[in-house]
């Protein structure tokens, strides 16, 4: 029998929130070096760009959790489906991912004529944000890093794990990713549980494209030395039961100006939906509102 914990998570994945339809966001697209990228925007004020995590999209990451609407009360919020995800283009060549995923954000800013913006990413999105700020720090007012897992040195274990995950995706399964991000205080799932969650997470996704994303990970790594040079105000957020917590704490040690928020009892999958998450983000952005001159 499926555990109550995973049953609840499946319900959350399946949930369609009425507020999503009420927002009536218009899908917009732009060409990013030959890949069609879908984005939405709402609100006015300083721009805040949102980058979602692996297998996710605008709706799952930001809209269904209420984050998009809450931030749009104060800011011009712009979210896009990363290439390989959602309604954006899904090439199968790993060379089309890696650093190109970050360049999409810069190209979107250029397309919208935004010289500067706040930027927030979660999981894979946070890794991309970290890479962005080390390459183009002058474009960002602040950065929010939610549960990044790829900042720091790349190990042989990382390489082996990526090979297993990409091979699994080629076969249409993401069970190995589920196991990697399994909460630290929970017993491992049964095969049936892992397969059920895998099927739900891959709904609407192209496994071959996601496998290409995984194979591009060596090109996404940002070292702690690179991050140590970052001067942009930074907020790090991670759940205490998230396996990525250790790497976020290592990043905090290398980046003294980073404000770290730990969400007690939160998982990798549940932290963004916790009220502590949006509260921390709103307080951080309010502390670092830009002057007209900086924009």
Q: What is the pLDDT of residue 285?
A: 97
Distance CA(212)–CA(85), nearest Å, equals 11
How far is CA 162 from its chain centroid?
A: 18
Domain assignment of residue 195, yes or no: no
CATH number of the domain within which 64 lies: 3.40.50.1820
Q: What is the pLDDT of residue 1?
A: 47
- Domain total of the chain: 1
Distance CA(140)–CA(75), nearest Å, equals 15
Domain assignment of residue 29, yes or no: yes
Q: Quote the DSSP letter at residue 262.
A: E
Q: What is the pLDDT of residue 191?
A: 80
Sign of CA dihedral 282, 284, 286, 289: negative
Distance CA(220)–CA(282), nearest Å, equals 28
Instruction: Specify whether the CB–CB gap between 49 and 71 falls below 8 A.
Output: no
Distance CA(147)–CA(158), nearest Å, equals 17
Domain interval for residue 248? 23-152+220-287
Domain assignment of residue 240, yes or no: yes
Which residues of the chain are under the pLDDT cut of 50? 1-2, 4-5, 11, 13-22, 291-293
Full-model pTM: 0.88
Q: What is the pLDDT of residue 186?
A: 80
Q: What is the pLDDT of residue 22?
A: 41
Q: On the CB side of 219, how many CA atoms lie within 13 Å of its CA?
A: 15
């Amino acid at each position: 029998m499926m555990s109550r914990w995973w049953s609840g998570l499946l319900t959350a994945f399946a949930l369609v929130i009425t507020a999503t339809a009420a927002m009536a966001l218009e899908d917009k697209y732009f060409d990013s070096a030959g890949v069609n990228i879908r984005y939405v925007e709402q609100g006015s004020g300083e721009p805040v760009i949102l980058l979602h995590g692996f297998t996710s999209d605008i709706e799952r990451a930001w809209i269904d959790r209420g984050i998009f609407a809450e931030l749009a009360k104060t800011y011009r919020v712009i979210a896009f489906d990363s290439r390989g995800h959602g309604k954006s283009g899904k090439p199968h060549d790993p060379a089309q991912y890696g650093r190109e995923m970050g360049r999409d954000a810069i190209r979107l800013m250029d397309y919208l004529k935004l010289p500067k913006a706040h930027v927030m990413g979660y999981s894979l999105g946070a890794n991309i944000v970290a890479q962005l700020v080390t390459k183009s720090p002058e474009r960002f007012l602040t950065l929010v890093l939610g549960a990044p897992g790829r900042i720091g040195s790349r190990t042989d274990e990382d390489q082996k794990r990526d090979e297993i995950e990409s091979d699994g995706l080629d076969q249409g399964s993401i069970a190995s990713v589920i196991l990697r991000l399994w909460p630290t205080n929970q017993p491992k799932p049964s095969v049936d549980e892992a397969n059920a969650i895998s099927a739900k997470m891959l709904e609407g996704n192209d496994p071959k494209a996601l496998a290409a994303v995984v194979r591009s990970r060596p090109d996404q790594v940002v070292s702690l030395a690179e991050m140590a040079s970052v001067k942009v105000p930074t907020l790090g957020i991670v759940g205490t039961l998230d396996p990525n917590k250790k790497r976020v704490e290592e990043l905090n040690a290398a980046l003294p100006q980073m404000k770290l928020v730990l969400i007690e009892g939160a998982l990798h999958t549940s932290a963004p939906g916790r009220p502590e998450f949006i509260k921390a983000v709103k307080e951080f952005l309010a502390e670092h509102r830009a002057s007209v001159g900086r924009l």
